[in-house]
Structure 1
Amino acid sequence: MVNRLRAKRAVAAAAILALTASLALAGCGKGESSATGAPAAGGIEVTELRYQGGVGAVTYPELAEDLGYLAPLKLKFIGNTISGPQDIQSVVTGDTDFGGAFNGAIVKLLAAKAPITPVIAYYGVDDNTWTGYYVLDGSPIKTARDLIGKKIAVNTLGAHHEFVIKEYLHREGLTKEEIEQVTLVVVPPVTTEQTLRANQIDVATLGGVLRDKALERGGIHPLFTDKDLFGTFSAGSYVLTNRFIKENPNAARKFVEATAKAIEWARTTPRDEVIARYEKIIADRGRKEDATAVKFWKSTGVAGKGGLIAEEEFSTWVDWLVKEGTLKEGQLEAKELYTNEFNPFRNEAQ
């Protein structure tokens, strides 16, 4: 089982670079799938897919399984994670069969020659689902320049929030040297609000139920939001290894089709029914979780129908990493990084 403590560790760029040393092991097929060989029922090459979940949350593959879309494939839960970079790292090292992360983190891993392919978007930003970067009322922080020498809490490094924060600082005219003086501190999401109110950090990253509850208590306001910067967009994707796709094309297609249908079910079903289904799934799996957070679910946040990936959802971060000096111009072509091949909605307009 993947060590759960790893999910709490910051996954910085150095970790991603260090990961390249393990890519050869991944190529040798360590735990590549739970069962390989002759196709199982319905021509599916494997019987189950190993994955990491989230405490008190329901992923779209989990929803797909509960709705019957994934059969005859079954999911095998091996632990929880709160870190997208760690989740996709587990795919590369063969500990899981699929995982999801912010697209910028995926681009970094692809630049490190990781043999993975994003196959479907699974989270994003829309009018109901977004993240704000909050300061206390009365805070002296009014502009991006006021963040120099200050601390911002994020759930993990090298992922969505770090990219959004740095993009905000770039757009507001801070130099690379000035941006380096803004400190990102890893704080568990459930304690971020408390840490802000105790003045142990200067800015809190808050989204979903944690944001809504904090706003109800008052005394805080957003300095900026990810929706302000980027509008509506899909922000993260599930990945499979290239080897898994090559050896198990029917399973890969089934996984994407089922997940895509689950996303559309959640998008088109009345909110109360979606929440009730999520509560049922959490209760039935018996992990002794608090299901309170799902009561505040509002939308999928996924921009493309059925999780279709748009080129700009990767080109944005390729260009950003070129600007940062992490990638060379032309090193990666966004349109070659992902595939919509297995998505049943690929021929429909997004």
Structure 2
Amino acid sequence: MNISKKPSNLHAEQRRRWLAAGLSVVAVAAFTPFNARAAQRVLRIGNQKGLLSLLKNRGTLEKRLAPLGVTITWTEFTAGPVQLEALNVGSIDFGDVGEAPPIFSQAAGSPLIYAAATVPHPSMEAVLVQNASAIKTVRDLKGKKVALNKGSNVHYFLVKLLEKNGLHYNDVDIAFLAPADARAAFERGAVDAWVIWEPYLAAAEKTMSARILVDATGVVQNRQYYFSSKDYAKQNADVLKIVIEEVNKIDLWGRDHPSDLAAEYSAVLGLPKPIVDVMIKRSGFGTLPVTNAILGEQQVVADTFFNLKLIPKKINVHDAAPPWLAAGAA
């Protein structure tokens, strides 16, 4: 049978076209500028209701990071320990937290690093008692039931407060309660005192029969920290640098515009502005690079918790130093 060769020639021509098209795709990928190919970078921020919420609402960070091809996702959390759990399982890359939760997280094997720190805020956490309470001094807390959030900044505050006043951690009956549950227990008289931070502190003062027994001034620094993971920090130091710059811009703006800052916070927190005004008056302003001296403060927190058997092993906080911190830096 006489079979024409034309179909075979056609198939050969199709193969040549497909091969040429495939090589073109490879060539385009190979010669695509790096910045275009880096467009897949993502920064996943976990935030509590606070300064990072203001940063999100303003949209300035997205504008700063767009030229780097970085997109941002935001996830809101109720407390620092939960944020750090999310970091540990790889769900977020950056967040904000008090001084105690990172200690528990590092002791549990978290890959966290300290990306930045705030100035101290000692007047933003305190021990609350009822206005009519017979408790007048810290020593009066002996044998009393005290509510606090386990693993939070106020946990460390209470430990050091008792120590400074000649009491031991075991001299009080501690009830580990989240802020909402602690407020309810305090209001109905189920606990004698409540150790709490802002804005819960100002809200309780303004809306309940409560008074401050003592705040953290002269006891602990009560810094806030911004954290990331070791891997993310190594690969995205440029991104984290910009984030911290933008955070500090809002911080310093708020120092110079306290009423405007309170108005923004009021919308975020869902609290009346007069309550937030109280909180802002107690604030310090400024976001700082992490130094060896600041990590040394955290080491004291870690050693305190280890000695009380609140963490299972001794840790070296400097293992969580950011990769850009030069050895021997102050």
Q: What's the TM-score once normalised by structure 2's chain length?
A: 0.70
Q: What CA RMSD, in Å, does the superposition of the two structures yield over aligned residues? A: 3.7
Match for 1:316: what amino acid? E
Partner of 1:169: 162
Does residue 247 of structure 2 align to residue 272 of structure 1? no
Higher radius of gyration, 1 or 2 = 2
Distance 2:202 2:276 in 1: 12
Distance 1:193 1:259 in 2: 30
Does residue 212 of structure 2 align to residue 225 of structure 1? no
Q: What's the TM-score once normalised by structure 1's chain length?
A: 0.66
- Structure 1: where are the runs of 5+ without partners? 1-37, 283-288
Partner SS for 1:235: coil
Partner of 2:112: 116
Does residue 134 of structure 2 align to residue 140 of structure 1? yes
Distance 1:135 1:300 in 2: 19
The structure 2 residue matched to 1:59, chosen from 51, 60, 63, is 51
- Structure 2: where are the runs of 5+ without partners? 1-32
Match for 1:50: what amino acid? R
Contact kept? 2:233, 2:323, Cα under 8 Å: no
Partner of 1:196: 186
Distance 2:138 2:109 in 1: 34
Mark the CA change 1:200 to 1:40 in structure 2 (over 3 Å): closer, same or farther.
farther
Distance 2:280 2:138 in 1: 30
Mark the CA change 1:340 to 1:249 in structure 2 (over 3 Å): closer, same or farther.
closer
Partner of 2:60: 68
Does residue 292 of structure 2 align to residue 298 of structure 1? no
Work out the percentage of aligned pairs sharing the same amino acid: 15
Shift of 1:241: 0.8
Distance 1:49 1:138 in 2: 49
Alignment of 1:1-350 (within 5 A): 40=35, 46-54=40-48, 57-60=49-52, 62-63=54-55, 66=58, 68-71=60-63, 72=66, 73-78=70-75, 80-122=76-118, 124-125=120-121, 130-154=124-148, 156-175=149-168, 178-179=170-171, 181-189=172-180, 192-216=182-206, 219-230=209-220, 233=221, 235-268=223-256, 270-278=257-265, 282=268, 290=270, 292=272, 295-296=276-277, 298=280, 301-302=283-284, 305-323=286-304, 324-325=306-307, 326=309, 331-332=315-316, 334=318, 337-339=320-322, 341=324
Residues 27-71 of structure 1: CA deviation (Å, up to 9, x unaligned): xxxxxxxxxxx9656x976544223334xx343374267252442
Contact kept? 1:267, 1:300, Cα under 8 Å: no
Contact kept? 1:121, 1:307, Cα under 8 Å: yes
Residues 58-100 of structure 1: CA deviation (Å, up to 9, x unaligned): 433742672524421443123x322211111211211111122
Residues 253-301 of structure 1: CA deviation (Å, up to 9, x unaligned): 3222322333223233x12332445567x5xxxxxx7354685351694
Shift of 1:332: 1.7
Shift of 1:160: 0.4
Distance 2:216 2:323 in 1: 25
Which protein is richer in helix relative to its size?
Answer: 2
